[in-house]
Amino acid sequence: MGETVDSLSEKDITNLKIALESNSTSGFDMKRLLDHTWLIVAELRRLNPGISEDDIRVIMSKSNLVLRDITVATSNCMSEGLVAHVLDRVRVLRADLDSWILPALEAVRWRHQLRGRARQLAHHGHHEYPDLQPDDHELAAYAWPHSVTSVAPDPTPASDTFVQVGASHAATPRQGERETCWPSI
């Protein structure tokens, strides 16, 4: 039994301390289970001082502690952790939306409107905006991934929100085309 405790890494101990000190029932449940486990082991050793670790493991594996209590506590703790994780990811995604993605979409929409106007002018023989001549591949080069639009417990971060589909068309400037200052998507 001493080897098992000695095999815990510093990170494992830190994670256990954080869980025990957290403001949730998860920490309380973990402490209760740990105390209960040590009490059972101590009682088994008191009743039979020569009991082997293997015998203790067999007895513990058939106990209500392992069969019911640990399962319930683990399920409760995982549910709390999952909810906290999802809320953190939603906050990150919302911040990314507000600070980067929405302005990038606005820039693409604005450029698309200018290109539409350039198409109209070119159709009527006016060429005031040669750098805005229509490029049918540019806007089609970006797609909104399904994972972001679906209900997923782990929304993608902003760096993964747009994926470049037609990189060869969007990344290759045409001859005479000016480089734009739009954010890289």
Indicate if 107 and 44 belong to the same structural domain: no
Residue 181 phi/psi, 5-degree rounding, is: -105, 25
Distance CA(52)–CA(103), nearest Å, equals 66
Q: Quick one: pLDDT at residue 47?
A: 92
- The Cα–Cα gap between 108 and 120 comes to 18
Residue 139: predicted pLDDT: 42
Last residue of a domain, one of 62, 79, 114: 62
- What digits encode the pLDDT tens for the residues 35-81? 888 888 888 889 999 988 888 888 888 888 777 777 777 777 666 66
- Asked, for residue 178, whether it belongs to a domain, the answer is no
Domain count, the chain: 2
Asked whether residue 86 is domain-assigned, the answer is: no
Domain that holds residue 58: 2-62
Whether residue 74 lies inside any domain: the answer is: no
Read off the pLDDT of residues 164-175 as tens digits, 9 standing for 90 and up. 333 334 444 445
Of the ranges 92-96, 111-115, 134-138, 163-167, which one carries the lowest mean pLDDT score? 163-167
Residue 82 lies in a domain: no
For residue 13, the model assigns a pLDDT of 72
Assess if residue 100 is contained within a domain: yes
The conformation of residue 69, written as its DSSP 8-state character, comes to I
In a domain, 19, yes or no: yes
